[in-house]
Amino acid sequence: MTIVTRFAPSPTGRLHVGNIRTALHNFLFARAHGGRFILRIDDTDRERSTAEAEQSIRADLAWLGLHPHDSVRQSDRFALYEREFERLRAAGRVYACFETPEELDLRRKVLLGRGLPPIYERPERENTPVEGRAPHWRFRLDHQAPIAWTDLIRGEQKFDPALLSDPVIRRADGSWLYLLPSVIDDIDLGITHIVRGEDHVSNSAVQLQMFDALGATPPALAHEALLVAADGKLSKRLGAVGVPALQEAGLEPMALLSLLARLGTSQPVEPIADLGPLADGFDFAHFGRAPAYFDMAEVEQLNGRLLHALPFEAVADRLPGWVDSDTWDCLRSALHRLGDIEEWQGVLHGDVAATELAPDDRTYLASASEIAADLDWSGDPWHALTGALKEASGRKGKALFLPLRLALTGRPSGPEMSPLTRLIGKDRALARLRAASA
The whole-angstrom separation of Cα 275 and Cα 394 is: 51
The whole-angstrom separation of Cα 225 and Cα 220 is: 17
One-letter amino acid at 37 equals: F
Q: What is the CA radius of gyration of the chain?
A: 31
Q: 25-37: b or e for each residue (b if 16 or more CB lie within 10 Å)?
A: bbbbbbbbbebbb
Q: 396-420: b or e for each residue (b if 16 or more CB lie within 10 Å)?
A: eeeebbebbbbbbbbbeebbebebb
The whole-angstrom separation of Cα 178 and Cα 74 is: 10
Per DSSP, 279 falls in state: H
Residue 236, annotated ligand binder?
A: yes
CA distances from 377 to 126, 371, 421, 424 (A): 93, 12, 9, 11
Spatial CA neighbour of 163 closest among 226, 205, 214, 126: 205
Instruction: Identify the burial level of 272 via C-beta atoms within 10 angstroms of its C-beta, where 0-12 means exposed, 13-18 middle and 19 or more buried.
Output: buried
Annotated binding site: 236
Annotated binding site for ATP: 236
